[in-house]
Each structure stands twice: as structure tokens, then as C-alpha cells.
């Protein structure tokens, strides 16, 4: 069966402000970012759905020594979506020097930012951009 | 499956090297071969761990060149890549091929020249162990992944971050102390908790001395069937059990204070060896970051989940503690040439079980273990050895 939600499709959707994932017709579980089969039950029977784009910060770090091509400091965080899966992205509306353990448990809304690629990245990409709610 | 033993080991000095990856591997390999009382022509296959040779020297398909360099250009020579666990994956396969009866003698190990890349490029290439599509564009780094693990750990177990950072610093202090006793270690000087806590921050909350260095180096071991081993050496070190597990990208692992790849692997290792964590006398494990050592001591079953950081503070993992961890100095002080690391861990355990470790010898060690982690907690491979 054809790959349902490829990286390119996922990326194009994000770039038109739609955060998409896969919802399983067998078990109801969500697979985000997409995979060939359901992360919960391995079924291929999944539909592309638009997600709530909201979640909760589970952990974070501030990158101070970056890979070539990135300007530090910046915050990388793992967020648990309201639909269940965890995703990685950047907390974009907070001064990295103000990031503390208090971030954990805070609610975020999820957008995206375009990231310029390098010679190893097969073109430009997108990263999820987390904004603190309230 | 028949019994398999290590009959010879070799390892270069770790740190910055003037030599190429092939030259370093050849030195380690010939030391292992000489110690095994065999000739290169007795080797039937070469399994080589190498992580980033393509980026370090523009060298792909290095294994056949390593084989040619030691005079066996026509044996099957294969690279194994499992990021920082590459050499252990190569050794597990060497073990399996000999145990199966297909080969009698296999050379396995690894080599790496990470210092050639410089920090920005090395940070970029190490981060290639993340999911390049769904994580890489966020600028995650390898220390960043473990920084996030440290914050998760602090939150989950209710250990205030400052307290946890002090306990993490004690891991670095211990491993540097052990490194002083290892002539092949990259760093041979003691450090203090205060020094760790005053270092520059690499990825919150990890500071410079919470992190292992970039390193050059190589290590190699000769694996032989039990019959051959008994002919070749008076001190064969037997492989009692092996295990390997995987996990997908970091985001799929959710609470990664529990490393599923490790828990999968070590269950196999203990079951095959017929032992448990209490039976292990000495262990070399994957302390790429101080928090990584704490997580590993829990995942391998030495301490309860959430108690690993306290165990360090209580000295339980010191050279004379209840389970000596990383007597070689670990990745932290001995160095971490990623493709060679697992083989260097095995080198140390074989030497420990032969009682050849001098001042850092764990007295009377009979059963030893190695544990190596690759990528964003995506590959873990471990091996149990006995004398
Ligand atoms: Zn499902």
C-alpha cells in the first residue's frame, strides 16, 4: 500500500498551517509524526487527520553548542500532544536564558518554522514551533 | 550454538591521533592477533565498527581496507554502523557467527577519528543519529537529548535539579579518578564536583564535564571457538550472553528515563548467561553523559529506577564499591571514539577478568559486562563475559 502521509506531504500541510497526523481505524490511536503503520497496533488502516495543535511540555533543553548551521542558544522541547503522541520542536517565544524546570507541565500551541537545509539535509525542512499558552 | 571466547585484545591510546583510522585499527588489530598466538591469515572474517568515517576522512567502505592493511585483503570484511554502539554490534555478530559454527576465528572491533571534524561539524554529524526529518530541523544535538533526559529524571523522581546535578558531577569525578589509573585514557587528571559545576553549559543542564569528549582511537578483539581458544591461550575469556535491542526516534520513546532498547537487550543477555545484575562483578557502560551512566545503572538492574543518582553519591559504583562501574575511566575520561567504544569496553573487561589491570583492578572479578548505546537511545547492545 502507498505511504499515506509522507514527510513531504506532512511538511506541505504544516506550511499551510495544518498540523496533520494519522488516526487509526482499528484502535483509534494517533501516529504523529507519521509512520507506515499505526504506532499502537501496526495497522495500515489509518486516515490523515488535522490535529488540535495543542499539548503539554514534558521536557526541554537549551542548546548552547549547536550543530554547524544553527545559531545558539535555542530551546528544544518534547511536547505531549492532546492526542497522545510526543513530538520534538522549539519553544520559540521564550528567552532561552529564562528556561527553567517550571516549563515542564506548561501548555503550548503548535505552529511551525521553516529551517534552511545544509548539504546533508536533502533540502529545507520544517520544525514544530511551540508557543506558551496564556 | 557452541561456546566462544576472546583470545586476544588490542587497543590504541585514546585522544588525538596523528594516524588514520585504518592505521589505528591495524595497530589494535595486530596487538590482538599477536596476543592470540595466531597469524592474520588465520582470521576468517573482519567485522568493523565505524560511525562517521565518511565525514572524518571521506572514507566509505573502510573494512576491506583495514583487512588489506593487516594482510588479509580477501576475507569478507564488513562495516557495522550503530552510531556509538557500532563496535558492540560488530562484536555481537562476531560472537554469533563463531557460535553458529560458520567461522572459527573472527576479528572484530572498531575505529574512529572524530577529532578531525572540529566541534561544529562533529556536533552536526553526531546529531545525524536523530530522526533527520522530524527532529533534526529543531537543531537537537546528542547532549541535548540527554539534557532532556536529565530534566525528565529530575521531574519524575522529584529530585531537585541542583541536587541531581551534584550527583551527576560525582559520576564525572569518579570516572576521571579511574581514568588516572588507565595509561590509555584520554584524560588522566582528577576533577572535583565544583569544577564540573563551574563548566560552560553545553545543553541545559549538562555542563562541559558532564559530557564525554570527541576522540580518536581504535580497539580490536579476536573471537574463537572454544576448541581453538583452548589451543591458543591459557586465559580465554568466554562470552556468556549477548543482547541487542532497538527503539525508534526519540519522540516515539516517550518517557526516555527508561531506555527500552536497553531493557530489551539486557533481558536477552542475562537470560542467555543465566545470571542477574547481582552476579556482575565489574561493568563498563555507556557514560556518554553523566546522566547516561545513571540511567544505564538502573536499566541494567544494578539499582532501582530513580535510585541510580543516589547510588553514585553513596559510592556504590566506585572502584571499591558494590558494583564498580567504568574502571577504565569510561567514555568520560578514557575517551569516546564512537566506532571503537564498545570494543574498548570489551578490552577493559577482558583485561579485568584476566586480572591484568594493575591499580584499577577489580579484585577477583569473575563475571563482567559491557553495555553500549547508539544514537538517541535507539540501539543498545550488551555482552556478558566470564573467565
Ligand atoms: Zn492502531
What's the CATH code of the domain at B181? Answer: 3.40.47.10
B68 & B175 share domain: no
> What pLDDT, in 10s, does the model give residues A74-92?
999 999 999 999 999 999 9
Cβ of B120 and A64 within 8 Å? Answer: no
Which residue of chain A has the CA closest to B201? A64
Does the residue B278 lie in any domain? Answer: yes
Q: How far away, in angstroms, is A35 Cα from ligand 1 center?
A: 11
pTM (two decimals): 0.98
> What pLDDT, in 10s, does the model give residues B23-68?
999 999 999 999 999 999 999 999 999 999 999 999 999 999 999 9
CA distance B209 to chain A (A): 14
B232 & B244 share domain: no
Q: Are A127 and A89 in contact (CB under 8 A)?
A: yes
- In a mutational test of the B interface, the residue from A32, A40, A64, A101 whose CB has the highest number of chain B CBs within 10 Å is A64
Q: Are A32 and A85 in contact (CB under 8 A)?
A: yes
In eight-state DSSP terms, residue A120 is T
B148 & B84 share domain: no
Q: What's the gap between Cα B242 and its chain centre?
A: 14
B70 & B84 share domain: yes
Q: Are strands B367-374 and B282-284 parallel, antiparallel or unpaired?
A: parallel
Confidence (pLDDT) at A72: 97
State yes or no: is B84 an active-site residue: yes
What is the mean pLDDT, run by run of 10 residues, along chain B of 387 residues? 97 98 98 98 98 97 98 98 98 98 98 97 97 98 98 98 98 98 98 98 98 98 98 98 98 98 98 98 98 98 98 98 98 98 98 98 98 98 98
Confidence (pLDDT) at A134: 78
Does the residue B9 lie in any domain? Answer: yes
Structural domain boundaries enclosing B21: 4-118+215-237
Does the residue B129 lie in any domain? Answer: no
ipTM of the complex: 0.98
Reply yes or no: is the peptide bond before residue A73 cis, omega within 30 of 0. yes
Q: How far away, in angstroms, is A44 Cα from ligand 1 center?
A: 8
Interface of A with B (CB under 8 A): 7, 33, 39, 58-70, 74, 76-78, 80, 85-90, 99, 101, 104, 115, 118, 120-121, 125-128
> What pLDDT, in 10s, does the model give residues B217-231?
999 999 999 999 999
CA distances B8 to A55, B40, B319, B351, B365, Å, are 54, 13, 25, 10, 18
Does the residue B108 lie in any domain? Answer: yes
Locate the domains of chain A by residue range: 7-50, 54-132
**Is the CB of residue B252 less than 8 Å away from at least one CB of chain A?**
yes
Cβ atoms within 10 Å, residue B200: 9
Q: Are A122 and B169 in contact (CB under 8 A)?
A: no
> What pLDDT, in 10s, does the model give residues A94-122?
999 999 999 999 999 999 999 999 999 99
Rounded Cα distance, A20 and A18, in Å: 6
Q: How many domains does chain B have?
A: 2
B101 & B20 share domain: yes
Confidence (pLDDT) at B46: 98
B71 & B152 share domain: no
Which residue of chain A has the CA closest to B200? A64
Q: How far away, in angstroms, is A40 Cα from ligand 1 center?
A: 5
B177 & B95 share domain: no
B32 & B157 share domain: no
Reply yes or no: is the peptide bond before residue A16 cis, omega within 30 of 0. no
Q: Which CATH architecture has domain A54-132?
A: Beta Barrel (2.40)
B271 & B370 share domain: yes
Q: Nearest Cβ partner of A67 from B124, B201, B206?
A: B124
- Give buried/exposed letters for B118-148 (b at 16+ CB in 10 A, else e): eeebbbbbbbbbbbbbbbbbbbbbbbbbbbb
**Is the CB of residue B119 less than 8 Å away from at least one CB of chain A?**
yes
* DSSP letter string, B55-92: HHTS--SHHHHHHHHTT-TTS-EEEE-BTBTHHHHHHH
Cβ of B152 and A7 within 8 Å? Answer: no
Cβ of B140 and A76 within 8 Å? Answer: yes
Q: Nearest Cβ partner of B152 from A58, A68, A115?
A: A58
B186 & B299 share domain: yes
In eight-state DSSP terms, residue B117 is G
Q: Are B157 and B298 in contact (CB under 8 A)?
A: no
B183 & B265 share domain: yes
Amino acid at each position: 500500500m502507498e505511504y499515506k502521509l509522507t514527510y513531504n506531504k506532512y511538511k506541505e500541510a504544516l506550511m499551510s498551517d495544518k498540523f496533520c497526523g494519522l488516526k487509526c481505524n482499528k484502535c483509534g490511536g494517533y501516529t504523529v509524526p507519521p509512520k507506515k503503520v499505526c504506532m499502537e497496533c501496526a495497522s495500515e488502516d489509518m486516515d490523515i487527520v488535522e490535529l488540535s495543535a495543542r499539548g503539554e511540555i514534558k521536557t526541554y533543553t537549551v542548546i548552547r553548542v549547536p550543530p554547524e548551521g544553527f545559531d545558539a542558544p535555542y530551546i528544544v522541547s518534547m511536547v505531549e500532544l492532546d492526542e497522545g503522541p510526543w513530538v520534538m520542536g522549539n519553544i520559540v517565544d521564550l528567552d532561552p536564558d529564562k528556561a527553567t524546570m517550571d516549563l515542564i507541565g506548561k501548555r503550548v500551541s503548535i505552529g511551525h518554522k521553516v529551517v534552511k537545509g545544509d548539504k546533508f539535509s536533502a533540502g529545507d525542512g520544517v520544525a514544530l514551533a511551540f508557543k506558551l499558552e496564556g | 550454538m557452541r561456546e566462544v571466547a576472546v583470545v586476544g585484545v588490542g587497543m590504541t591510546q585514546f585522544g588525538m591521533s596523528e594516524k588514520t583510522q585504518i592505521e589505528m585499527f591495524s595497530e589494535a588489530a595486530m596487538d590482538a592477533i599477536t596476543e592470540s598466538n595466531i597469524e592474520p591469515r588465520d582470521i576468517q572474517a573482519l567485522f568493523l565498527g565505524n560511525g562517521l568515517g565518511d565525514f572524518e576522512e571521506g572514507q566509505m567502505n573502510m573494512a576491506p581496507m583495514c583487512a588489506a592493511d593487516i594482510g588479509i585483503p580477501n576475507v569478507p570484511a564488513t562495516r557495522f554502523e550503530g552510531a556509538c554502539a557500532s563496535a558492540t554490534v560488530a562484536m555481537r555478530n562476531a560472537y554469533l557467527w563463531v557460535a553458529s559454527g560458520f567461522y572459527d576465528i573472527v576479528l572484530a572491533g572498531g575505529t574512529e577519528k572524530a577529532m578531525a571534524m572540529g566541534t561544529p561539524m562533529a556536533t552536526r554529524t553526531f546529531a545525524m543519529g536523530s530522526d533527520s526529518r522530524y527532529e533534526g530541523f529543531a537543531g537537537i544535538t546528542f547532549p541535548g537529548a540527554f539534557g532532556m533526559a536529565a530534566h525528565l529524571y529530575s521531574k519524575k523522581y522529584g529530585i531537585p535539579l541542583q541536587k541531581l546535578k551534584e550527583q551527576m558531577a560525582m559520576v564525572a569525578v569518579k570516572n576521571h579518578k579511574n581514568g588516572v589509573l588507565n595509561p590509555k585514557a584520554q584524560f588522566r587528571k582528577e576533577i572535583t564536583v565544583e569544577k564540573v559545576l563551574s563548566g560552560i553549559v553545553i545543553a541545559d543542564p549538562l555542563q562541559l564535564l558532564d559530557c564525554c569528549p570527541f576522540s580518536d582511537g581504535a580497539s580490536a578483539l579476536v573471537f574463537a571457538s572454544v576448541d581453538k581458544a583452548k589451543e591458543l591461550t591459557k586465559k580465554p575469556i568466554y562470552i556468556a550472553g549477548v543482547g541487542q535491542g532497538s527503539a525508534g526516534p526519540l519522540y516515539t520513546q516517550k518517557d526516555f528515563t527508561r531506555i527500552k532498547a536497553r531493557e530489551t537487550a539486557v533481558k536477552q543477555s542475562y537470560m542467555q548467561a543465566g545470571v542477574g545484575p547481582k552476579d556482575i562483578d565489574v561493568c563498563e557502560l555507556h557514560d556518554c553523559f553523566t546522566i547516561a551512566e545513571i540511567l544505564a545503572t538502573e536499566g541494567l538492574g544494578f539499582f532501582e529506577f530513580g535510585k541510580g543518582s543516589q547510588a553514585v553519591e553513596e559510592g556504590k559504583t566506585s572502584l571499591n564499591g558494590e558494583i564498580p562501574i567504568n574502571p577504565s575511566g569510561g567514555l568520560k575520561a578514557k575517551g569516546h571514539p564512537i566506532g571503537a567504544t564498545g570494543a574498548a569496553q570489551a578490552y577493559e573487561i577482558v583485561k579485568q577478568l584476566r586480572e591484568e589491570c594493575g591499580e584499577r583492578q577489580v579484585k577477583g572479578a569473575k563475571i563482567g559486562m559491557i553495555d553500549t548505546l547508539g544514537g538517541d537511545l535507539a540501539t543498545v547492545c550488551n555482552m556478558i563475559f566470564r573467565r
